[in-house]
């Protein structure tokens, strides 16, 4: 497959991933990561050095928008590497960035309260004919506690912080990629999915200290609630077998947390 960008013919190859929207483009010694219809939020993330540098954006004849980012030779973080302080620190940088919050707020329908997220979950489960009692009980739990986790403090959340979206370049730069699910919501949306998935319970306080906060009862309740909410949504939505198994395990970890 070949395509012409700015007078140069590039070889285009799929970059993998579940959406089929990502490609690798090469021309002589140039190499880019291309994505079709990526989030318009990508430019702000590039400026903040959260993602590899955005090189150009182009609208093609069929109306799609193609973005090209600097190709980064990298490795994906392992599950064990998620425990390290750099992940917590970069996530805190994202959550506390007023510039990112300002830029994302320009995109329509990006704010999600706890109640809005719960309504999305209910709609998804109502459309699913294979809802287990465990999921039904989880929704009852979410209903019971939604008022206790509501917030007016919205931050930029990634929405899919599993280790496959964290990469380290050969220059030792840490990036968080794949921002198609970005939203303004409670920080617990991201933090909980990392803690319940990767961080041993005895390490939670240390990880949160690296993030810049402490584990209070209120925060713990939010972490559990938002993690259950996210995983129920995932488990009632079509996704790969790998993603489904991952969601099941995180869901179980959160449901079995009886400390709050």
Q: What pTM, to 2 d.p., does this model score?
A: 0.91
Domain ranges of the chain: 2-71, 76-255
The rounded distance, in Å, linking the Cα atoms of 149 and 242 is: 30
Is pLDDT above 70 for 191? yes
Rg (CA), the chain: 19
Q: What is the pLDDT averaged over residues 88-106? A: 97
Active site residue 160: yes
Q: Is the pLDDT of residue 56 over 80?
A: yes
**pLDDT above 80 for 27:** no
pLDDT band at residue 108 under the 50/70/90 scheme: confident
Q: Quick one: which H or E segment has residue 114?
A: helix 114-126
Q: What is the pLDDT of residues 32-47, one digit of tens each?
A: 898 888 888 999 999 9
Confidence at residue 17, expressed as pLDDT on a 0 to 100 scale: 58
- The catalytic residue among 130, 160, 190, 258 is 160
Q: What is the pLDDT of residue 211?
A: 98
DSSP assignment string, 58-111: EE-TTS-EEEEEE---EEEPPTGGGGSHHHHHHHHHHHT-HHHHHHHTTSTT-B
Which candidate, 213, 201, 175, 211, places its Cα nearest to that of 256? 201
| Confidence tier at 18 by pLDDT (50, 70, 90) | low
Give me the pLDDT at residue 60, please: 80
**CA torsion through residues 13, 2, 30, 56, sign:** negative
Q: What are the pLDDT digits (tens) for 201-211?
A: 999 999 999 99
Of the pLDDT bands very low, low, confident and very high (cuts 50, 70, 90), residue 176 is very high
d(CA 150, CA 115) in angstroms, rounded, equals: 7
Instruction: Dump pLDDT digits (tens) for 202-260.
Output: 999 999 999 999 999 999 999 999 999 999 999 998 888 999 999 999 999 999 999 99
Mean local confidence (pLDDT), 54-63: 86
Residue 197 pLDDT > 80, yes or no? yes
Q: What is the mean pLDDT of the chain?
A: 92
Lowest-confidence region among 6-20, 55-69, 100-114: 6-20
| CATH number for the segment(s) 76-255 | 3.90.1200.10
Residue 1: the pLDDT is: 40
Given a contact cutoff of 8 angstroms between Cβ atoms, the answer to whether 135 and 236 are in contact is yes
> Dmax of the chain from CA atoms?
61
């Amino acid at each position: 497959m070949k395509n012409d960008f700015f007078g140069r013919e590039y070889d285009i190859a799929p970059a993998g991933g579940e959406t089929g929207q990502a490609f690798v483009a090469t021309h002589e010694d140039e190499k880019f990561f291309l994505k079709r219809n990526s989030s318009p939020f990508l430019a702000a993330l590039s400026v903040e050095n959260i993602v590899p540098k955005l090189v150009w954006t182009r609208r093609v004849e069929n109306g799609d928008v193609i973005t090209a980012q600097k190709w980064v030779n990298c490795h994906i973080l392992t599950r064990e590497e998620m425990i390290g302080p750099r992940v917590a620190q970069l996530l805190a940088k994202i959550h506390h960035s007023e510039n990112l919050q300002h830029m994302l707020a320009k995109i329509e329908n990006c704010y999600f309260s706890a109640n809005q997220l719960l309504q999305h979950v209910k709609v998804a489960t109502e459309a699913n004919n294979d809802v287990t009692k465990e999921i039904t009980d989880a929704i009852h739990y979410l209903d019971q506690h939604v008022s206790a986790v509501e917030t007016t403090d919205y931050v930029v959340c990634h929405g899919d912080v599993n280790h496959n979206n964290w990469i380290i370049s050969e220059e030792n730069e840490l990036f968080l990629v794949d921002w198609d699910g970005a939203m303004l919501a409670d920080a617990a949306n991201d933090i909980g999915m990392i803690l319940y998935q990767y961080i041993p319970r005895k390490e939670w306080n240390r990880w949160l200290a690296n993030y810049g906060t402490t584990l209070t009862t209120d925060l713990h309740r939010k972490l559990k609630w938002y993690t259950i909410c996210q995983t129920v949504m995932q488990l009632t939505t079509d996704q790969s077998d790998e993603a489904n198994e991952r969601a099941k395990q995180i869901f179980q970890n959160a449901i079995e947390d009886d400390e709050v």
